[in-house]
């Protein structure tokens, strides 16, 4: 490909945040280039979460990438909460005046976005190594990178950091201009994907003295399960039989009896973290998605927060290019963070209430028990969970 000298919006990172932004901008005639460090095969093979709020699903539709989601995605009107041997259904739709969630894997969302970028001849430069950002505090920012052994530079009006938690964008902001807030949890999630029918029709979030577990799915024939596990656990020590045995021991007996076992397609351990960087703007650089914030997966908010950031940011950029109105850009950080912190609170709360924290002692354990009893007996508490789970308004 010929070296591109400049574009309007230069997006670092070709995950869901970066691709969705480039797609929304392109549909409004705004040029962008996406720089992605990894190969496309690598990006498309990552297994991530799979629950979309209505706002996120609507944004994908607005970006012209909703067709396969609407055909293959599963609309869920409820979730189940298991406490020990008890199983309680929360009717999300009834508790929220009709709102639902869409179960559709992030892997599929990313594939749909790449297909749409290709169909519109969108420029996504993959295997862009050593990306470095320059001139962020000037009105002519740029990024340099190595592609096929050649150093290239692209200038832009704005640079958008969509390069995830380990990306270069956030680290390009001087440390004294950022505040970082972080909580690292003393456990991880061991995930298993298998081509077996799910144990239940809806997702089951299960609290048990031995640890949390989650029954999720990708389709009527593909299941995704997770187990809370110690951080020093090794995937190699978990053969499939051990995983299924531990899962079934943590679920209510009636549910365990419905678990179909099968060979795993993928198994991996992910640490749990809450993290927010403030503000989301430094000069001409804006941060979005995992580059700016991380939530533990318990509330299924990671991809949904990326979507709401991109909603605020795409609207702001479109206003800038259409009418020279910069109010959205000026207020992006404040607007996005207001929603981010509420989702951080919810994800932290879901994590705290459902996982085992033996190191916290007896009082904390009783508080957690009381919290769960309250949740399962109070329509107000259930309405609050449901309101957050289906997604707060943009």
Q: Shortest Cβ distance from residue 295 to ligand APR (Å)? A: 7
Contact footprint for ligand PHB (CB under 6 A): 49-51, 203, 214, 216, 224, 297-298, 300
Report yes or no: 244 and 208 within 8 Å, Cβ to Cβ. Answer: no
Sites for ligand APR among residues 92-131 (CB under 6 A)? 106, 128, 131
- Residue among 7, 9, 11, 15 that touches ligand APR (CB under 6 A): 15
Length of the chain: 394
Catalytic hit among 205, 225, 312, 332: 205
- Residue among 162, 190, 269, 317 that touches ligand APR (CB under 6 A): 162
Q: Shortest Cβ distance from residue 114 to ligand APR (Å)? A: 11
Q: Shortest Cβ distance from residue 338 to ligand PHB (Å)? A: 22
Distance CA 159, CA 173 (A): 12
Longest dimension (CA), the chain: 64
Name which of 54 and 369 has its Cβ closer to ligand APR. 54
Binding of residue 317 to ligand APR (CB under 6 A): no
The residue assigned the tokens 């392109």 is 26
Segment contacting ligand APR by CB under 6 A, of 41-49, 75-83, 133-141, 247-255: 41-49
Site string for ligand APR, 191-220 (x = CB under 6 A): ------------------------------
302 binds, among ligand PHB, ligand APR, none (CB under 5 to 8 A by kind): ligand APR
Name which of 16 and 297 has its Cβ closer to ligand PHB. 297
Question: What are the structure tokens assigned to 120, written together?
Answer: 């519109």
| Residue 297 annotated among the catalytic residues of the structure | yes
DSSP state of 131: E
Name which of 158 and 389 has its Cβ closer to ligand PHB. 389
| Residue 301 annotated among the catalytic residues of the structure | yes
User: What three-state secondary structure class fits 343?
Assistant: helix
Cβ within 8 Å of residue 288, ≥6 positions away: 17, 21, 160, 161, 162, 280, 306, 309, 310, 313, 336
Report yes or no: 353 and 364 within 8 Å, Cβ to Cβ. Answer: no
Q: Which residue is nearest to ligand PHB (CB)?
A: 216
Q: Shortest Cβ distance from residue 182 to ligand APR (Å)? A: 16
Report yes or no: 160 and 9 within 8 Å, Cβ to Cβ. Answer: yes
Binding of residue 290 to ligand APR (CB under 6 A): yes
Specify burial of residue 283 (Cβ count, 10 A radius: 0-12, 13-18, 19+): middle
Catalytic hit among 301, 311, 320, 355: 301
Name which of 28 and 39 has its Cβ closer to ligand APR. 39
Segment contacting ligand APR by CB under 6 A, of 24-32, 166-174, 247-255, 350-358: 166-174
Q: Shortest Cβ distance from residue 374 to ligand APR (Å)? A: 29
Q: Shortest Cβ distance from residue 216 to ligand PHB (Å)? A: 3
User: What three-state secondary structure class fits 199?
Assistant: coil
| Residue 389 annotated among the catalytic residues of the structure | yes
- Residue among 73, 78, 105, 167 that touches ligand APR (CB under 6 A): 167
| Residue 234 annotated among the catalytic residues of the structure | no
Q: Shortest Cβ distance from residue 169 to ligand PHB (Å)? A: 25
17 binds, among ligand APR, ligand PHB, none (CB under 5 to 8 A by kind): ligand APR
Of 271, 273, 85, 291, the closest CA to residue 191 belongs to 271
Q: Is the dihedral of CA 268, 271, 277, 283 positive or negative?
A: negative
Binding of residue 303 to ligand APR (CB under 6 A): yes
168 binds, among ligand APR, ligand PHB, none (CB under 5 to 8 A by kind): ligand APR
Distance CA 134, CA 189 (A): 37
Which active-site residues does the annotation give? 76, 205, 297, 301, 389
């Amino acid at each position: 490909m010929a070296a591109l000298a400049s574009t309007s919006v230069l997006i670092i990172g070709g995950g869901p945040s970066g691709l969705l932004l480039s797609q929304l901008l392109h549909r409004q005639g705004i040029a962008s280039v996406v720089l992605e460090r990894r190969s496309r095969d690598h990006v498309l093979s990552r297994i991530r979460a799979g629950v979309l709020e209505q706002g996120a699903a609507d944004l994908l539709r607005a970006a012209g990438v909703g067709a396969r989601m609407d055909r293959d995605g599963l609309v869920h009107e409820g979730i189940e909460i298991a406490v020990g041997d008890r199983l309680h259904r929360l009717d999300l739709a009834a508790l929220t005046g009709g709102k639902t969630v869409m179960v559709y894997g992030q892997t599929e969302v990313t594939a749909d976005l790449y297909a749409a970028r290709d169909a519109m001849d969108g420029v996504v430069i993959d295997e862009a190594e050593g990306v470095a950002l320059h001139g962020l505090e000037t009105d002519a920012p740029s990024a340099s990178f190595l592609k096929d052994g050649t150093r290239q530079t692209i200038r832009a009006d704005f640079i958008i950091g969509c390069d995830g938690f380990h990306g270069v964008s956030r680290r390009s902001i001087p440390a004294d201009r950022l505040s970082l807030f972080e909580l690292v949890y003393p456990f991880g999630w061991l995930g298993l994907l298998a081509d077996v029918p799910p144990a239940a029709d809806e997702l089951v979030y299960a609290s048990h003295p031995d640890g949390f577990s989650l029954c999720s799915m990708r389709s009527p024939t593909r299941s995704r399960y997770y187990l809370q596990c110690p951080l020093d656990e090794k995937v190699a020590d978990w053969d499939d039989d051990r995983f299924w045995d531990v899962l079934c021991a943590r679920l209510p007996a009636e549910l365990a009896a419905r678990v179909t076992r099968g060979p795993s397609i993928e198994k991996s351990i992910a640490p749990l973290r809450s993290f927010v960087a403030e503000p989301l703007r430094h000069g001409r650089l804006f941060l979005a998605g995992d580059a700016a914030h991380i939530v533990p997966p318990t509330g299924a908010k990671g991809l949904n927060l990326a979507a709401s950031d991109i909603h605020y940011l795409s609207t702001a950029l479109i206003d800038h290019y259409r009418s020279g109105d910069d109010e959205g850009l000026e207020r992006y950080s404040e607007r996005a963070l207001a929603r981010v912190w509420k989702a951080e609170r919810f994800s932290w709360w879901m994590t705290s209430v459902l996982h085992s924290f033996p190191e916290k002692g007896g009082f904390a354990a009783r508080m957690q028990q009381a919290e769960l009893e309250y949740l399962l007996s109070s329509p107000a508490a259930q309405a609050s969970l449901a309101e957050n789970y289906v997604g707060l308004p943009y």
